Amino acid sequence: MKITTIIAYLLAIIGAIVWLLVGLFAFNPLEALFGFGVFTRIIYALVGIAGLWLIFIWVVRNPLRDL
């Protein structure tokens, strides 16, 4: 589970950087590298799954539970 969480964090960071570039410069590096095809959609799906995994981990290990 630790490796899954590390991979999820890395994918979430990559996704955040991609959206930063899209928001600031209207430049999507995934589309620039791979075009708008199946591979790009798979990467987007993996980033979304990573976000869901991190929400799950946060709910399980809620640091605010003791307050």
In this predicted model, what pLDDT tens digit does every residue of 5-58 receive, in sequence order?
999 999 999 999 999 999 999 999 999 998 888 999 999 999 999 999 999 998
> Shortest CA distance to 32 belongs to which of 42, 21, 23, 24?
21
50: exposed, middle or buried (C-beta count within 10 Å: 0-12, 13-18, 19+)?
buried
Q: Give this prediction's pTM.
A: 0.82
pLDDT value for 62: 78
Say which amino acid occupies 19.
W
Question: What's the sign of the alpha-carbon dihedral 18, 22, 26, 30?
Answer: positive
pLDDT value for 66: 61
DSSP H helices in the chain:
2-25, 29-34, 38-60
Cα(64)–Cα(67) distance, integer angstroms:
6
pLDDT value for 21: 95
